[in-house]
Amino acid sequence: MQAHEQSATDAPPPNAELVIDVSGITKRFGAQTVVNSIGMQVRRGEIYGFLGPNGSGKTTFLRMLCGLLKPDAGQGTCLGYDILHQSDEIKKHVGYMTQKFSYYEDLNLEENLDFIARIYQVPNRKQAVSDSLQKLGLHARRKQLAGQLSGGWKQRLALAASLIHNPELLLLDEPTAGVDPKARRDFWEEIHQLAAAGLTVMITTHYMDEAERCHRIAYIAYGNLLTNGTVAEVVSGAKLSVWEVSGPNLPALANELRHKKGIEQVVAFGNTLHVSGPQGEELRNAILPWMKPPYQWNQAESSLEDVFISLMGHSQDNFK
């Protein structure tokens, strides 16, 4: 939980200026409501994690923030500009890293960065491109075609490109998918430094450890914002009780417990099972018959993952 502590210390003060301040944002594709009246406030210098199952509308929401999609309803500002009418201004100050690699595979790294730098009219372009290559450790590969890079290197290129014009807000859509642990750690280090220098970062991820490195997180499922706040707030707000049990033949026990009233999740963790439910009392009653040898029961801390899976179980997939 080192990162967690770190985030607690350098989080921006609660009265910091709001970089993203939107409400009621809604997007429909045909009959399907993909983003359902979401409001969100993000402060300057904050690292804001955006989590949710596949297809929950994270990418769609980010696209609306930077003017790539027009919301069907809702209003608000991004960097002080109206998201509905001033997307040209917003675009100048936002760095957006798409989920799918979207730089030119037939240009080499340097040419890609140079193109982006020209488009944003970066002052001292050549120097900026060279610095950016240097900083991300891409300088040796600058003549390599982007299409020939491995997945992780592509991510690094994309990050470098989205930073080249010194944006005030960085929108990162699953930037670390497929990136190795070392590179991931370096990446987060960099993000925290940038945030400390005043950059606001909004980042989507499916990794719990990354969520815990964010100052604040929001969880969205099937277009609905289910919870938001610091990790601690989200975990405690869920009021999830968790018991850890060890003993013989746990898979059989898991099957017996799984459908009992009051038990929401039964998950194997190494040599133990995590049994959780939203109501402490009900959960206790449900497991009572097994609270005897050979089983050993201990009350455990609920993890972010437990909370998210629980939240997901409660929400309805509007596709079904």
Ligand X SMILES: Nc1ncnc2c1ncn2[C@@H]1O[C@H](COP(=O)(O)OP(=O)(O)OP(=O)(O)O)[C@@H](O)[C@H]1O
> Nearest approach, Cβ of 56 to Mg ion (angstroms)?
8
320 binds, among another protein, Mg ion, ligand X, none (CB under 5 to 8 A by kind): none
By beta carbon distance, the residue nearest Mg ion is: 59
The reply on whether position 55 binds ligand X by CB under 6 A is yes
What is the nearest approach in angstroms of ligand X to the Cβ of residue 98? 11
Pairing of strands 94-97, 216-221: unpaired
Determine the residue type at 233: E
Q: Which stretch binds Mg ion (CB under 5 A): 91-99, 104-112, 129-137, 287-295?
A: 91-99
- Nearer to Mg ion by Cβ, of 58 and 93: the residue is 58
Q: Which is nearer to another protein, 128 or 266 (CB)?
A: 128
Closest contact distance (angstroms) between CB of 206 and Mg ion is 10
Query: Any contact of residue 316 with ligand X (CB under 6 A)?
Result: no
Q: Does 9 bind ligand X (CB under 6 A)?
A: no
Residues that contact ligand X, how many (by CB under 6 A):
11
Between 70 and 135, name the residue whose CB sits nearer to ligand X: 70
- Which residue ranges make up the site for another protein (CB under 8 A)? 63, 66-70, 85-89, 91-92, 94, 96, 98, 100-107, 111, 114-116, 118-121, 145
